[in-house]
Chains A and B, each alone.
Chain A
Amino acid sequence: MRVLKAFIAVVALVLVALVVAQVPGGQSLLGIVLPYLAFAIFLGGFIYKVVYWAKSPVPFRIPTTCGQENSLPFIKQNKLDCPTTKGQVVGRMLLEVLLFRSLFRNTRASIHDGPTLAYGSNKWLWLFALLFHYSFLVIILRHMRLFTDPIAGFVPMLEFADGFLEVGATTIYQSSFILLAAVTFLFLRRVVRPYLRYISLPADYFPLLLIFGIGLSGILMRHVFRVDIVSVKELTMGLVTFSPSIEGQIGAIFFVHIFLVCVLLAYFPFSKLMHLGGVFMSPTRNMANNSRMVRHENPWNDPNIKPHSYASYEDEFRQFMVDADLPVEKQPEPATAEPEAEEAAPTEEPKA
């Protein structure tokens, strides 16, 4: 059901693009107005969200320590999983962001007769997540061919490394196909594994299907329904130089592609895709485990919260303390009644 909703949404978006591309002015809308709008929403939304997060303080230093702390000289600290300095934190974050360190730890638990629990190695999610993100990155960078003139120097190099086969005059880029394969894997695992199906929301299927649609339309555009690449480049260069115009006949498939990209951009800041920004700001990962070395300040620390005072403690128990030879600050006054404690907890019953 939840998959269906997401699927319908993506199919509807494709149809919208196909229809709008046919009506007068539709191509300008899809090729010019929406890209600007989507990009603005993406940028504004992204910044808004990051600022929204940053506005809240980090009151406590709560790194999740995943290795040995820095303590005695003869005990080796795990500097990357339990960092104490800024440099070490940067190391931890690089591992996390570039290599998905935490996901690499993943295991899969199963229960067997006995009962016995077993934890098998499970690196598929890590592998496909990595493939997905890196192929996506390569594809975005390759697209810089369309937005730079003269073409940025790294693009041909990247294209050379990425292209592995020529079909006719067209190079096949492996990143495109890896992306589709990875998205397919990520999608299928959601559908096939019962617990993942159970936790998945339409908001989990939708971006996967959307990205699949973007990838597929891109590949179709390149290898099946050839579009006029010169006109496309004119349009994209026009967009970055703020003088966009649509000349010539660009195939409808292009408008599907760009429309889905726009939807992705506009959807991004409002969705879980914001993990792109959040991963850098997660306090359990980006803080040093040095809270006993350096005091961490909490801006809203309330100085009025004071411990139950020793004085009232002694007032309540003074006679007992004296009888038990415990030192007291004030000697009991002879012959007064039991001191009345202000804050007496109502029960005295020990309940081990």
Chain B
Amino acid sequence: MADTKAAEMKVKVVTEPSLMTGAVPTHDWWDVEAIFKPGNYCYPAKKSIAEYHGKNLPGLFGEPRDWDIESDDWALPENWKEIIINGIKERLDKFRSLKIFMDCCVRCGACADKCHFFLGTGDPKNMPVLRAELFRSVYRNDFTTAGKILGQIAGARPMTFKVLKEWFMYFYQCTECRRCSVFCPYGIDTAEVTMMGRELLHLVGVNTNWILEPAANSNRTGNHLGLQPHTFKENAEFLLDDIEEATGVKLNNLTFNRKGAEVLFIIPSADVFADPGIFTFMGYIMLFEHIGLDYTISTYSSEGGNFGLFTNNQLMKKLNGKMYAEAKRLGVKWILGGECGHMWRVVHQYMNTMNGPADFLEIPKSPITGTVFENAAATRMVHISEFTADLIHQGKLKIDKNRNDNRIVTFHDSCNTSRGMGLLEEPRYIINSVCNNFYEMPENTIREKTFCCGSGTGLNTGEIMDLRMRAGLPRANAVKYVAERHGVNMLANVCAIDRATLLALNQYWNPEVQVCGISELVGNALIMEGEKERETDLRGEPLPGMEG
């Protein structure tokens, strides 16, 4: 099914007239209306979900209601424009970034062709500069002298329903990946503008279900799927059998909500139930068994990923607050975090500010190597890649690299960990330590210049599949390059959203390439105490030399 669609798409992205294929738009951008049709928008939040958030954070999620995006009546509150304008005012007062990013863009266009959404759709409004202009034009109209006097000539326009529709369309065709900001001479981060835009949309109840429902679940059950504690535990324990089957070792180090453990380990919850995240999870806990780490996992704080990040800073804070609250309740010394992208954006750049100080924790120190993680001295939360790289460097792991010989690996840098944290070399160091075949994708598509999977920030929903496949094209294309050149068959990453979205993306563009977390590769390579002769990897596929 995907094949015929993909074949069509392959031709369409190159031939369809768009700004990417050389066609020149005939209308000024402010004269082009956003038209919603099935497939180009995410469904709005169910009324009950909006109500739930509204109850927890009054006023931030607008009036709960059922509404139809395709219709011209969104059942907005009467004073919706006022709400938006006041909302802008409030945010200008709260965020210097917003003021600077509104005032300083020179429209040099350096960011224009850096956005994967633009590259895949050729839609002018997916150039970061125009995406921000959608907001900036309203800002100019109401908040600048030039805009007030000169109006349209100064690029100002009043807030109208037409503008609101554009906002909804294009602030949800941005994955807040920050790639544009790397290239901007003033560091203008369109992700920041999009985040503000989404906050404002929420104020008038314009939202998407795929973000608000997981956020509601995370709040209530601890994880975005809404797995209740017993189910979460069962799911995780189920994986112990799979580990035993592959290695012959029955792990008994998996505990939940255990007080007094040294380390609280927080993962993106998808790692306990979704393929291929589950293999990453197996890798984590095999590693911990291997080194004898005293750790526990919480069912209450069982979601590392933070869907609040995609809504507003208050919900982000509320969801994130669980991590410290639980660490405190359990009396652990420090927190270790699994492979997740936006979880780490929040942990690295927001957590301590929002929910710190974490003075009830200790400065993280690896009990195995004695390494003190000075770079986490305040937040007291360490990334699993930092932790593992240190173990490998200190020679604490028994590794048989050859077991990954059937994997020809490339590495996808997640937007958040690369551009919002700077975690670039640790994963590479690990891959190179546990695999013999590692090839980098082209230089313009990795590290700080990495391309988004195309479905981050709550866009990995089925209803916009075509859009996602287009937005993921730059990433997929770079994967294809190494697949053709070096026979790459495994796309490794450190992000749960990637493990879900890159899987779909590869099935579409590069069906021969599989997706895995780094810790899965570690798990495969680890020589576990008391293991049987390993014949299969964690996926149950034969190890190299065992195919017969």
Contact = CB atoms under 8 A, between A and B. Distances in A.
Contacts of B52: 343, 345-346
Nearest to B237: A324
A326 B227 CA distance: 14
B99 A56 contact: yes
Contacts of A102: 110, 182-185, 187
A64 B182 contact: yes
B154 interface: yes
Interface residues of A, number: 111
B286 to A, nearest CB: 22
A170 interface: no
Given A117-B473, A282-B104, A305-B318, A57 B49 contact: no
Interface in A19-53: 49, 52-53
Contacts of B219: 307-308, 343, 345
A228 interface: no
B95 A327 contact: no
A169 to B, nearest CB: 39
Given A198-B19, A326-B257, A111 B213 contact: no
B534 interface: no
Interface in B106-132: 106-110, 112-114, 119, 124, 127, 129-130
A56 B96 contact: yes
Interface in B318-360: 318-322, 325-326, 329, 347-350, 352-354, 356-357
B49 A59 contact: no
Interface stretch (B69-77, B245-253, B375-383, B510-518): B375-383
B230 A66 contact: no
Given A59-B95, A67-B448, A275-B104, A203 B155 contact: yes
Interface stretch (A144-152, A171-179, A295-303, A331-339): A295-303
Contacts of B35: none
B325 A307 contact: yes
Interface residues of B, number: 138
Interface stretch (B399-407, B420-428, B489-497): B420-428
B229 A321 contact: yes
B379 A292 contact: yes
B225 A351 contact: yes
Given A308-B220, A310-B329, A62 B127 contact: no
B170 to A, nearest CB: 14
A351 B225 CA distance: 6
Contacts, number: 366
B183 A195 contact: no
A281 B322 CA distance: 33
Interface in B184-233: 184-189, 192, 213, 216-217, 219-222, 225-230, 233
B14 A113 contact: yes
Interface in B360-413: 371, 373-379, 381, 386, 389-390, 393
A53 B97 CA distance: 9
B537 interface: no
Interface stretch (A68-76, A153-161, A247-255): A68-76
B19 A194 contact: yes
A67 B424 contact: yes
Nearest to A349: B226
B431 to A, nearest CB: 14
B321 A279 contact: no
B226 A195 contact: no
Interface string B442-454: 1011011100000
A282 B188 contact: yes
B146 to A, nearest CB: 5
Contact of B349 (A61, A203, A301, A316): A61
9 contacts: A58-B96, A66-B182, A115-B473, A199-B127, A199-B129, A291-B348, A306-B318, A327-B259, A346-B49
Interface of A: 5, 49, 52-62, 64-72, 74-76, 78, 81-82, 84, 96, 100, 102-103, 105-109, 111-117, 119, 125, 129, 193-196, 198-204, 270-272, 274-275, 278-279, 281-285, 289-298, 300-302, 305-310, 313-314, 316-317, 320-321, 323-324, 326-327, 341, 343-352
Given A107-B444, A198-B29, A345-B221, 12 more contacts: A56-B98, A58-B96, A111-B20, A117-B478, A199-B107, A272-B106, A282-B97, A284-B189, A291-B378, A310-B326, A346-B49, A347-B48
Q: List the 6 closest A-B pairs by CB distance, nearest first.
A: A69-B422, A307-B321, A324-B230, A278-B104, A65-B422, A284-B187
